[in-house]
Structure 1
Amino acid sequence: MDRTQEDVTPNVDAVVAAVQSSASCLVKHEQEEAILDPQGLTAPVSDDDGQDLEMDRPLRRKRRVKGQKICGVCGDHAQSHNFGALTCETCKAFFRRNAFKQKELQTCVFNSSCSITKATRRFCAPCRLKKCYSIGMDPELILGEEEKRARLTKRDREGPSPGPKWEKRYSQSSEPQSTNFRAPILSPNSTNSTASPGSSVDSGIDVGTTAGAASTSQLNYPDKGKWCRPKNALGKHFKHVAREDLPWDMQLFWPLQAEERSLLTKLTSAYQSVTTNTTMEDLEKMRQWGSFCMEKAIFALEYSMREYVEFARVIPEFKQLRQGDQIAVLKASALMWYHIRLASDFIPERRSWVNAFGAMSEVDLGNFLGDPHSVQEYAEFCEGLKFVVKNDTTLYTLMHTLVLFDPRDSKVEDRIMVNTLKDKYLVLLKHHLESQFSFLHADRYMAEIAQQILDLRQLGESSLIFYKHFQSQFRPLIAEVFAD
């Protein structure tokens, strides 16, 4: 009996030691998991019965990075870690679409030695994907269809979030990258409460006192030519599609042809060159008047008209029109060009129009013109258009081109030709939107831009009556634009 107890005692001690060792390993393992998942959370997945199941994958949280954040793939501005590496939103979307398509991508023609930067990242998909992997992006972190359905199920079960995602995704400042834009040139109708864009620019000096102290009586604003505010000036309520909501399947995007891409690049470059080519001579002319005055407004309007003519000459199809039709379409669309330019200058966060000549706030302009309500309504129209187009230079370029080729003007002779050119650029706009937002969302953008163009046409027609009251003060170029 004593011998049996002696045999059992060592066995019990061995079992206790083994249990302690296992517990120690378990604690260590839990500590390691706590480092990866501080709150001990795992991503829930719903089964067929709607019950939550625990997945092996920990709940992924975006890691905040302090200081300057640069995309490890292209060098663009980055916001957070995506799929295991610090990248920009564009490279994040690229990796999500192409991570499992290595065999489908064409082979690099430069022996996989392409330099991937913000400017060149679209040119070589194989090298870009290779760099994604080299910085540590992990395709295993991409949610599968089952996981996405589980996330949506959980989101529906928990109810809607406090605010829509698109507000955060597109909450970046709408200030243009370049400040070389025309200033707001607005003129009111003193008897009407509807939108009243006319003319005026600040020369870069402080308008806080000069605008408020100036008298509007010297401008002799007419009572005729009442303005009509566009009925659909509600573009600021348009809901953009978030990048993360774009489809993964590249078959749902329009592949721009080489000819289409070349034309877009040419026109966009020409538009940027025309609208940012402000000379010192022009700046000096604006500054010589000092405070806010009608002479400065007329000069700025003439400057914008010269921009328009210069841009139209770059459009290949414009040269195909007979001279009479060239003049007719330019005169018919000049004010629409001008209103688009003013909308692109508008900075909603500052409630101001900003350009190379200076800045003019909505409040100062309303006080100067003596009609704050009309200025406020016109600012809302500019804000709505700016919210839809944002700072997309390509979209501004296409909108300018579409308003140019309008066959409805009475002085156009070859209406079929003009309408054919308009159709070409409508298709180009459609393909551009489909290449950016996919077939699933491009129609909404197309419809909203078409509505904005209709509003611009209405605004241009009503403002033409107003501007003609100042025709005697116009220089030859503007006088020709507003002549019958």
Structure 2
Amino acid sequence: MTCEGCKGFFRRAMKRNARPRCPFRKGTCEITRKTRRQCQACRLRKCLESGMRKEMIMSDAAVEQRRALIRRKKRERTETQPPGAKGLTEEQLMMIRELTTAQMNTFDSTFIHFKNFRLRGEDGSVWNYKPPADNGGKEIFSLLPHIADVSTYMFKGIINFAKVISCFRDLPIEDQISLLKGAAFELCQLRFNTVFNAETRTWECGRLSYCVEDPAGGFQQLLLEPVLKFHYMLKKLQLHKEEYVLMQAISLFSPDRPGVVQRLVVDQLQEQFAMTLKAYIEFNRPQPAHRFLFLKIMAILTELRSISAEHTQQLLRIHDVHPFATPLMQELFSTTNA
């Protein structure tokens, strides 16, 4: 075994057929990493004593052939890489593959399996959140059981999504519960954004669609206006599916959620997901047009955190007056988001 520096020195000395002499006339200089440049003769002697042989040196033609082979293999790997793989480490690629597979297996974007929910609309397709001006919001409250069913359906998918992620399963069950309680609403909104149509102000959920025509008045404004603004901001970024799932992972692995014990471990995992997102953007988005995309995403996640906390408090207050939440919702919201 030899370092690259001594290997290069030995190759050059043999090609020049050099016969250096020890300037100290001892021939026994100690050759270390710090002193190896002080005496070429003793350095060459040590190379030979270590087993380096002239006949093992590759010819210039062989060196060029090997370099050409390396270039060809590198080019082949680049050509066979899946979309989005450019510039990412193998660990980061595995991380993204695990997340996208988990998303695909746990998110029913067509809502084809969403059945037996309460308060089905007469046409079975459209729910309009705008109440008549004279009903005092009663129609809105009548829709809450259905909204609870939709949310519960989404929450079940989010729980299954988290359980598929290997590093999440490695955490203590207490931390798993704390992270899910803290992130459930946020992950739900990130998933809903993938089916949001900004032009029609509609969430297109397969055979069902949800439209907010006029977020005005009472709790409707408190609940829906900030959420609607969030969806417009996020949809405007036109994110890739890889960026969406990495956002979900960053939100899920938040070390400051109430009740989390292994905060350092969770913090390190969140940093890995954040750095993977940053690397993905840098190598797969045109620069400089998207040079601030990572910062915009992180700012949106911070905004979503604030919306989640306020939204949870509003829902709990409404539930006290008009009970509508499912047992799963009550369990997830039993700890207020911080």
Structure 1 length as normaliser, TM-score? Answer: 0.45
Who is 1:123 aligned against?
Answer: 80
Residue type matched to 1:481 in 2? L
1:283 corresponds to which residue?
115
Runs of at least 5 residues in structure 2 that lack an aligned partner in the other structure:
1-67, 128-142
How far residue 262 of structure 1 moved from its aligned partner, in angstroms, is 2.5
Report the AA paired with residue 305 of structure 2. R
Superposed displacement of residue 351, structure 1: 2.0
User: What code does the residue aligned with 2:152 have?
Assistant: E
The letter of the residue matching 1:410 is P
Q: 1:283 to 1:403 in 2, by over 3 A?
A: same
Residues 4-49 of structure 1 show CA distances to partners (whole Å, capped at 9, x for unaligned) of xxxxxxxxxxxxxxxxxxxxxxxxxxxxxxxxxxxxxxxxxxxxxx
Pair 1:444-2:295 in alignment: no
> 1:258 and 2:90 equivalent?
yes
- 1:473 pairs, out of 299, 313, 324, with 324
1:422 positional shift: 0.7
Distance in 2 (alpha carbons) for counterparts of 1:359 and 1:263? 33
1:205-216 equivalent positions in 2, closer than 5 A: none
- Per the alignment, in what secondary structure is the counterpart of residue 307 of structure 1? helix
**Distance in 2 between the 1:375 and 1:441 partners?**
31
Give the secondary-structure state (helix, strand or coil) at the position aligned to 1:360.
Answer: strand
Match of 2:196 in 1: 346
Letter in 1 for 2:261: E
Residue among 225, 232, 248 paired with 1:383? 232
Counterpart residue type for residue 297 of structure 1: I
Cα shift at 1:410:
2.8
Determine the structure 2 residue equivalent to 1:137: none
Structural RMSD (CA)? 3.4
How far, CA to CA, are the matches of 1:446 and 1:386 in structure 2? Answer: 15
**Where do 1:73-472 residues align within 5 Å?**
106=72, 122-123=79-80, 255-276=87-108, 282-285=114-117, 288=120, 290=122, 292=127, 293-363=143-213, 366=215, 375=224, 378-388=227-237, 390-437=238-285, 443-469=291-317, 470=319, 472=323
- Structure 1 segment 39-54 matched on structure 2, within 5 A: none
What letter corresponds to residue 265 of structure 1 in structure 2?
R
- Residue 339 of structure 1: CA displacement? 2.1
Following TM superposition, the consecutive aligned residue runs of length 4 or more in structure 1 with deviations greater than 4 angstroms are: 102-105, 277-281, 286-292, 367-377, 438-443
Deviation by residue 1:410-460 (Cα, 9 ceiling, x = unmatched):
311111111111111111111111221267566411111110111011111
Give the corresponding residue for 2:333: 482
Query: Do the aligned partners of 1:274 and 1:311 also contact (CA within 8 Å) in 2?
Result: yes
Q: Report the CA distance between 1:386 and its aligned residue.
A: 0.8
* Amino acid in structure 1 at the alignment position of 2:72: Q
Aligned length: 245
- Whole-Å separation in 2 of the counterparts to 1:254 and 1:444: 19
**Contact 1:406-1:418 at 8 Å conserved across structures:** yes
Following superposition, the deviation at residue 322 of structure 1 comes to 0.5
1:327/1:368 CA distance change after superposition, 3 Å: same
Query: Percent identity between the aligned chains?
Result: 19
Taking the aligned partners of 2:175 and 2:219, their CA distance within structure 1 comes to 39
Taking a change above 3 Å as real, the CA distance of residues 374 and 480 of structure 1, as seen in their structure-2 partners, is: closer
Checking the alignment, whether the CA contact within 8 Å between 1:286 and 1:357 is kept in structure 2 is no
State the shift of 1:260 in Å.
1.8
Q: Check 1:277–1:475 CA distance in 2 against 1; reply closer, same or farther (3 A cut).
A: same
Is the 1:254–1:431 contact (alpha carbons within 8 Å) kept by the matching residues of 2?
no
Residues in 2 aligned to 1:346 and 1:298: alpha-carbon distance in whole angstroms: 19
1:405·1:422 contact (CA, 8 Å) conserved in 2?
yes
Write the deviation string for residues 93-140 of structure 1: whole angstroms up to 9, x where unpaired.
Answer: xxxxxxxxx99952599xx9xxxxxxx995179xxxxxxxxxxxxxxx
- Aligned AA (2:233): G
Q: Which runs of 5+ in 1 are unaligned?
A: 1-101, 113-119, 126-252
How far apart, in 2, do the equivalents of 1:314 and 1:392 lie?
Answer: 21
